[in-house]
Amino acid sequence: MAQQIASELLIERLADWGVDTVFGLPGDGINGIMEGLRRHQDRVKFVLVHHEEAAAFMATAYAKATGKLGVCLSTSGPGAIHLLNGLYDAKLDHMPVLAITGMQETSVLGTGYQQEVHTDKLFMDVAEYNLVVDNPAQLPGVVDIAIRTALARRGVAHLSFPNDVQVADADEDPYQHVAPARPPATAPIYLPPPGRARTEDLETAAAVLNAGEKIAILAGVGALHARDEVLAVADRLGAPVIKTLSGKAVIPDDSEYAVGGIGLLGTRPGENLVEDCDTLFMIGTNFPYTQHLPQPGKVKVVQIEADPTRAGLRMPTEVPVIGDAKESLQALIPLLTRKSDRGHLEKYQKDMAKWRSEMEDLENPKRSPIAPQYPMGVIDDLAADDAILTCDSGTIATWAARHWTIRGDRRFYLSGNLATMAPGLPYALGIQHAFPGRQVIAYVGDGGFAMLMAEFLTAVRAGLPIKVVINNNSSLGQILWEQMVLGYPEFGVRFPSPVADFAAWATACGGYGAKVDNPKKVEGAIKEALAFNGPAIVDIDVDPNEPPLPGKVAYDQAKKFTQAFLKGQPHKVAIATTLFKDKIEQLKR
Ligand SMILES: Cc1ncc(C[n+]2csc(CCOP(=O)(O)OP(=O)(O)O)c2C)c(N)n1
Ligand SMILES: [Mg+2]
């Protein structure tokens, strides 16, 4: 082998950290790093994608699903720019991701050289750690610091390598040193801080919770690893559990404590509970839609939060408890007395039973055009008990929130805080890569899918047997309804004809593809796709005029909606008919 190059120090150190996968796309800005990957392909796998944005989403999803660091790689300039949306997804959802980019040779920097984009400046806002490596002597120390920062601050770290540094001899150090220091001899080790909250805070929290009569638990993504503990607390407190959408898998949807979510994508029981509690127990959540939280001052708030900057951020908190949700709940549970009056909980169990049957009614298999709730209901029935569903932003998020049931070891991932379009497909690839044996299903919009659809080809080429179900309403459905709720007639949100046939793309790539426009074919196609030994797409033409109605329609929303209709909504009749059909289904029982 040729003399060891600096890029090898990077790749070897990634491997020492347990990194087994790098998602990326080569370019003239990272040929040295690619050589490092080539020389160490037995330790770190390179997954070649079609768009760097997708590589960043894959790394983010990998981190979300495994709890480990996600890594993505792009060339200098345009490749790095493409990474950004996926990296912001990691930043906003607090995922540890390392982005590695290339940079022009040190000798031409500052000359306006081709593709000279100073990615360290570009990434200044997105990255917690952000460095151009100028000298091989900095390696591998700065790799350790970058990774530890990403893990500790739960965010993005960025290392950029000029071309000449990448291919320099690993032990090269071209400069005379004047500082009384040498590069730190660090180690590839990260230990998270202790997670158990302070005893006195737990005691105060227990006193408030024990005194509460109508308690609501709001659990978020920070409680995903604390299912048993959240259920035990719910049992002691006789408290229904609301889940944020990112925290959907905290407890199963068929649990006796679950009341679904809140906000526009939430459930009626969830929304009712917010207005009908005297104590709110927030666990691992930074739920941003404060209008859907109780009025400040109306309820007592106990909050378990890992990051002190987020305690009391959305609600004035009587008892901020700083710590990890699991470890802190374990310490709290013995301090809670079991409430003998179960009336509050039972009220919501009844309301939830009613809500569930209303949702089932909307999964009407007979409606034509196909009701979008129906395919989601079919996926829910047919998927494995440990299936993982990824989802795009759009009306699909509402259908998934309400019709995808967390049971067993099922999981659910979407772009929670950035709420970007298009992550569903690359998320599925990143997660399938991490869990080759599990069923991974991407449930996506036609708009979102079209943005990064080339990654289906990546799945075929990488042998990742993901399943994709496209909710094809030939529109940017979510925005269509948002415009109307604002009181404006829809504009610029329906794609002109033809309706895309994404099944043809699937078969062109060498995967399974089915185009479905008849409700009778939905179940068969999804069954075949799930059974297919490889990547599959089921592209389903659904009713574009089906509104993702909030769990509880506010008077103001209804009024504005009606105004938009009166002002000249172009699809008045079709929408009114759909609304009418839904109501009939619900009233039938
Ligand atoms: C990158 C990006 N562009 C635009 C938006 C605004 N937006 C949110 S949802 C949505 C519609 C998505 O359409 P589609 O994927 O077809 O899903 P649908 O709502 O139709 O189910 C748009 C345009 C966004 N969130 N992200
Ligand atoms: Mg759409």
CATH superfamily ID and name for 363-587:
Thiamin diphosphate (ThDP)-binding fold, Pyr/PP domains (3.40.50.970)
What does the pLDDT read at residue 515?
A: 98
Strand partners of residue 442: 390, 468
Three-state DSSP class for residue 139: coil
Hey, whose CA ends up nearest to atom 9 of ligand 1? Answer: 394
The answer, yes or no, to whether any atom of ligand 1 lies below 6 A from the CB of 382, is no
What does the pLDDT read at residue 569?
A: 81
The answer, yes or no, to whether any atom of ligand 1 lies below 6 A from the CB of 476, is yes
**C-alpha R_g of the chain:** 25
The answer, yes or no, to whether any atom of ligand 1 lies below 6 A from the CB of 419, is yes
Asked whether this chain's domains 6-166 and 363-587 adopt the same fold, the reply is: yes
Rounded distance from Cα 23 to ligand 2 centre (Å): 27
Rounded distance from Cα 490 to ligand 1 centre (Å): 14
Give the span between the Cα atoms of 306 and 310, in whole angstroms. 8
DSSP 529-542: HHHSSS-EEEEEEB
Rounded distance from Cα 252 to ligand 1 centre (Å): 28
* Phi, psi dihedral angles at 329 (to 5 degrees): -65, -40
Q: Are strands 45-48 and 21-24 parallel, antiparallel or unpaired?
A: parallel
| Residue found under tokens 């078969």 | 507
What does the pLDDT read at residue 262?
A: 95
Q: Contact 416/222 with Cβ under 8 angstroms?
A: no
Rounded distance from Cα 490 to ligand 2 centre (Å): 14
Q: What is the pLDDT of residues 173-194, one digit of tens each?
A: 888 999 988 888 899 999 999 9
Judge residue 334's burial from the number of C-beta atoms within 10 Å of its C-beta, 0-12 exposed, 13-18 middle, 19 or more buried.
exposed
What does the pLDDT read at residue 519?
A: 97
Q: Contact 101/137 with Cβ under 8 angstroms?
A: no
Three-state DSSP class for residue 131: strand
Rounded distance from Cα 245 to ligand 2 centre (Å): 20
Largest CA distance in the chain: 84
Q: How do the domains of the chain map onto residue ranges?
A: 6-166, 199-350, 363-587
CATH superfamily ID and name for 6-166:
Thiamin diphosphate (ThDP)-binding fold, Pyr/PP domains (3.40.50.970)
Question: Which CATH entry fits the domain spanning 199-350: 3.40.630.10, 3.90.1170.20, 3.40.50.300, 3.40.50.1220?
Answer: 3.40.50.1220
Reference 582, options 284, 305, 358; nearest CA is 358
Residue ranges of the chain with pLDDT lower than 50? Answer: none
The answer, yes or no, to whether any atom of ligand 1 lies below 6 A from the CB of 421, is yes
| pTM of full prediction above 0.85 | yes
The answer, yes or no, to whether any atom of ligand 1 lies below 6 A from the CB of 104, is no
* Phi, psi dihedral angles at 41 (to 5 degrees): -65, -15
Spell 243-276 as b/e; 16+ CB within 10 A means b: bbbbbbbbbbbebbbbbbbbbbbbbbbbbbbbeb
Q: Contact 421/447 with Cβ under 8 angstroms?
A: yes
Edge-first strand listing for the sheet containing 411-413: 411-413, 388-391, 440-445, 467-472, 536-541, 512-516
